[in-house]
Structure 1
Amino acid sequence: MNQQSGKDAILDKIVEEIFNAYPSLYERYGENGKKRTREDNQHHLDYLQTAYDADDSKLFVGYTIWLYELLSARGMNERIIIDNYERLIPLLEEYMDQGKYLFFKVCLEEGIEALLAEKN
């Protein structure tokens, strides 16, 4: 599987998982909500790749804090980001080599820790 088809599979699965877990999202946002969720996860993957290329997980943590501030200004809480990141971890393992996966996993876990620290 090439890198793009792997990324597409991850994006398809994460959107499906989120909308299956929260059917009210579809009722509220419809297909546009699915499109936006896919775009959001594309950004997560892009920032994970940037952090990987720079070998600096703090780049992803900074993105996570920025995202939290953006979403909290719109009335959302950190739980939606944490849930998304927790869902991404096993999906990433399925579609990428172990070294890259382990780095991405650390980034996602550090992002979650930063969000929990923001909450307290």
Structure 2
Amino acid sequence: MVSFEQTRKWIDDVRKERGTKVMIMLVGNKVDLENLREISTDTAMLMAKEWNVLFIETSAKEGYNVKQLFKKIGEALPEIDPALNETDVKEVVLETNDECEAEGYCLC
């Protein structure tokens, strides 16, 4: 409950530091522990709407909505900076070292 109560301050801090065109998503995790729930889904949805942030509930333990979380992030990104186009994207090519892979380690 304490972390939820601090959420508004964290959102304000992020927007103060990064501006209003930053994507923020409120994620309610551990929905598999329904009997320990302190914040209802409806309350969290209302707060997310009031704070103008995205919202999703997940269970990392069970894998519930985890893929959907990243899908929502991916879908929201172009809306944040529509000026971003393919010429702004930089390609990074990573080379592997076959000798290191054969030995089971990496020179990261």
TM-score (normalizing by structure 2): 0.36
By relative contact order (CA 8 Å, sep 6+), the higher-ranking structure is 1
Higher helix share: 1
Give the strand-richer structure, 1 or 2.
2
